[in-house]
Chains A and B, each alone.
Chain A
Amino acid sequence: MKHLLSTRDLDRATAVSILDIAEDMARTADREVRKLPTLRGKTVVNLFFEDSTRTRLSFESAAKRLSADVITFSAKGSSVSKGESLKDTAQTLQAMGADAIVVRHHGSGAAHLLAHAGWIDAHVLNAGDGTHEHPTQALLDAFTMRQRRYGADSRERDLAGMRVVIVGDVVHSRVARSNVWLLSTLGAEVHLVAPRTLLPSGVETWPVTVHEHLEPALALGPDVVMMLRIQQERMHAAFFPSGREYAREWGLTAERFALLGPDTMVMHPGPMNRGLEISSAAADSSASTVLAQVTNGVFIRMAVLYLLVAGSSEERA
């Protein structure tokens, strides 16, 4: 694998093998020595044009556990915020010997551009591009689902037979896009729930079932309910009238949560707006995988970094 830009590019076998490698990485976490020498001498650059401490820390910690040298460029206070172009920044990083660039950018397609514009030959790992994709988030979500469902027996399994309901601001959500492609590749049955204003155009061509109201989707007895983060400013752009109305219609309220089956997982990519898309009753329950998602994020990122960076140099044509 040269780059990880989109979960659309992953076939079932590759996706399952990433999850399996993440299992191996997870094993190392309980050892006396957690660090692996795998990427010794390699340089991983975190290039963050968008503030996201959580994702940045997760990637940093993954790269360090694999013994890579880690350089972090954050937009704030560096040249990238002073109008230096993505191209110039990337070429600077290349000159510094970056083997892989983990990029988060507010523009959709930024990672794709870095990988394919011919500016650099480092491996590119998309850590979230605009409203396009966030592939490692989807992978860690899938990993979390598989682990909850199968435990120690997870290896080599996909998500066939699992029913996943994704609720909220799909149109602006890179997490939703990456999850839709990945989960359906892994055999899960994916349902989207949102008012029409928050559904992307062409959603009818996606491998999903679309619902405009939450109750009918919850009545299907989903294995997973994934609540997407709602940005407060959306209501000013007439996507919905008010936070109160949104919470009432599409929020995972305590009442709705109480109707879920005992094994249903409640997921959220974080950070959560309690009282808006998710109630505290749901967020703090044992059904919630929010903390497991954070832990698993490191393992998934270790697995992906391993696959991208440790590979043979001949692949880097």
Chain B
Amino acid sequence: MDFSFSKEHQMLRRMAREFAEREVLPIAKAIDEEHRVPMDVVKKAAELGLLGVPFPQKYGGMGAGEIGYCIVAEELGKVSSSFATIIGAHIGIGAMAIYLGGNEEQKKKYLTPLARGEKIAAFALTEAGAGSDAAAIKTRAVRDGNYFILNGTKQFITNGDIADIITVMAVTDPSLGPRGGITAFIVEREYPGVRIGKLEDKMGIRGSSTAEIILEDVRVPKENILGPFGAGFIVFMQSLDMGRLTLGAACLGGAQTALRMAMEWAAMREQFGEPIAHKQSIQWMIAELATEIEALRSLVYRTAWLVDTRQPFTRYAAMCKMYGSEVASKAVNIALQIYGAMGYSRDFVVELMYRDAKIAEIYEGTNEIQRIVIAENLFRDFGVRIRP
């Protein structure tokens, strides 16, 4: 057994950390306040290959695998959940769907510019009536010769307004349901009929945009079907598996920053004539949190290793997402509590981290849904089938 990272991955971590500290950290507070996507910094990330971390070099990627991608997500998560979300939606689900489901042609045409960061991806599944119940989507794709005509409205789509290439899930045969009746499509932003609707005014991750995407008689060539016809649900679920793992990695980063800040404050802040770190109730919070962070680290990188060595990992990815988001939320809660009033003040970043953390319990499948996925996976070993 060997828990060490490869030399390449160690170097990648140094690079990602320096990038995060140099380029992202200084703007983390401003992009929240200004509700602005930092496209200039996204471009700088692209120049270093950070928009294609897990993809093979022959498609313009970095070739660093899932372990490499988790390292980058962790380092970005340490400084900004918004920025980690932009990159996560781009690589982890948007471009990932093309990598996992796309044919050679599609990978050359679409994955390559995405991996190089020349184009930005979004992943459009959610609709007004289809959140946790993803199979309930209403967006329709109707065949018209060599084209499909898409109609429907997607909402809460990360990168929706900045994306050039959108992977969209649509119903191709309403009689068949999720197994066989839903197909994934690659939709270019430039196709006539693609419109960006409402931008969400969110509680947190305000440096990443979340948009409504309206599809009105959008003609999509049949070459843009992603994966087998009627198997869109599987393509999207596989992408979400990957996204969940790296979301766990980003949470690992965020939790570590919260822990570090909580400890710095506890060591510095004096009450009753001594640092509050001398109080046992503070020590216990810190000790428990540090333990959970270490457990999360092991879970995340072991799961990434399962992916890179091509072993089944679905249940572990769901665990990474569920446990990671809960550790991160606990971490920011503890940090804010230890900071006291200063944590509640906008003068510090603790309140920003607190607002940012909550989303990870909701998106990419709520934590309730993750529990269902985990239980479904576990019970399958006992011959019991659970339906969500």
Task: Answer yes or no: do A and B interact.
Answer: no
